[in-house]
Amino acid sequence: MSKYNYILFDLDGTLTDSGEGIINSVVHALEKRDIAVPDRAALRVFVGPPLLDSFAQYYGMDREEGMKAIADYREYFTDRGWKENSVYPGIPQVLEQLKNAGAHLYIATSKPEPFAKKIAEYFDLAKYFDGIVGSTLDEKITKKSQVIDLVLAQIGEDYRGKTVMVGDREHDVNGAKENGLPCIGVLYGYGSREELEEAGAAGISETVEGLLTELL
């Protein structure tokens, strides 16, 4: 029996290791602006948070310039970046066990919903989820709190006290808190223990398999 009736999963850095495709797409957008690309490891910060926020935070782009950078990012990502990605070992087995324990699973991601659904289908993950919800391509809905709110609307009032978020970055924790939910942080993705603890994660799993201890 699962501790929770409804479990919301982040996608990037939680279900799939998508860093390569995301970083390559960011590099493509920066090079089109003649912006010197730093050590690629420095671009890991782009994995997870909304792109518009990241381009603003790390490169000082206003909304107009940020939207143009996102268009260039998607040029690469749509062509091949979305496939430069892999499922973390053990994730399908964990999802299977959670479903067998009676939990309803959802994806709640800041990635645009069409891409999220395409990736979930391609990697044979979609079959585990009752719903896949992401941001909008027009960037009107990008924040994790907004995405989670959309998932909760699908679930209905029954979610209260029975729902948890799982993610690897502070925006997962913060988005959950804004919706009155606990969040289990994972350390095998792109965040750190310090980041997750400071944000107020309700629990932390160091490994994919450790999620079962937190959720069952």
Catalytic residue set: 10
194 Cα distance to chain centroid: 19
151 touches 181 (CB < 8 A): no
Residue 128: both structure tokens together? 């585990």
Identify which of 105, 112, 157 has the alpha carbon closest to the alpha carbon of residue 131. Answer: 105
Local structure of 119: helix, strand or coil? helix
Alpha helices in 2-141 (DSSP H): 19-31, 51-59, 63-79, 91-100, 113-122
In whole angstroms, give the CA distance from residue 69 to residue 96: 38
